[in-house]
Amino acid sequence: MKITDVKCAVIGEHPVVRITTDEGVDGYGQVERYKPYLKWHVLHLAPALVGEDPTNVERVMLKIRNRGGFKPWGSAVSAVEMALWDLAGKAAGLPVYKLLGGKVRDRVRVYNGAVRFPMEGYEPEDYAANMARMKASPEGFTIIKQGVAFHSAMPREVPGFFYGDPAPSNFHGHLVRGLLTEKGLNHVVACVAAMKEVLGDEVGLALDCGPGWTVPDAIRLAKAVEGMHLLWLEDLITGDYVPWVSAGVYREVTRASTTPIHTGEQIYLRHNFKELIEGQAVRIVGPDPCDVGGIAELKWVAEYADLHGVLIAPHGTGNGLLGLAALVQVCATLPANFVAFEYPVANPEWWSGIVTGLPDPIVVDGFVEVWGRPGMGVEFDIPAARAYLAEEDRGFFD
CATH number, domain of 358, equals 3.20.20.120
Confidence band of 165 (pLDDT split at 50, 70, 90): confident
Q: Which of 106, 80, 88, 145 is closest to 297 using CA atoms?
A: 80
Whether residue 70 sits in one domain with residue 209: no
Whether residue 352 sits in one domain with residue 388: no
Q: Please give the backbone phi and psi of residue 355, each rounded to the nearest 5 degrees, phi first.
A: -125, 130
* Total structural domains within the chain: 2
Whether residue 157 sits in one domain with residue 76: no
Q: In what order do the strands lie in the sheet with 14-21?
A: 3-11, 14-21, 27-30
Q: What is the mean pLDDT of the chain?
A: 97
Whether residue 131 sits in one domain with residue 43: no
Give 143: exposed, middle or buried? Use CB within 10 Å, 0-12, 13-18, 19+.
buried
Question: What pLDDT does 174 receive?
Answer: 77
Whether residue 124 sits in one domain with residue 42: no
CB 355 within 8 A of CB 321: yes
Whether residue 205 sits in one domain with residue 169: yes
Question: What pLDDT does 207 receive?
Answer: 98
Q: Tell me, yes or no, whether 112 lies in a domain.
A: yes
Whether residue 267 sits in one domain with residue 161: yes
Please give the residue range of the domain that contains residue 59: 3-93+381-393
Whether residue 212 sits in one domain with residue 184: yes
Q: Tell me, yes or no, whether 115 lies in a domain.
A: yes
Q: Tell me, yes or no, whether 398 lies in a domain.
A: no
pTM assigned to the model: 0.97
Whether residue 241 sits in one domain with residue 280: yes
Percent residues over pLDDT 70 in the chain: 99
Question: What pLDDT does 80 receive?
Answer: 98
Of how many residues is the chain composed?
Answer: 398
Cross-strand pairs, 375: 95
Whether residue 89 sits in one domain with residue 126: no
Whether residue 112 sits in one domain with residue 67: no
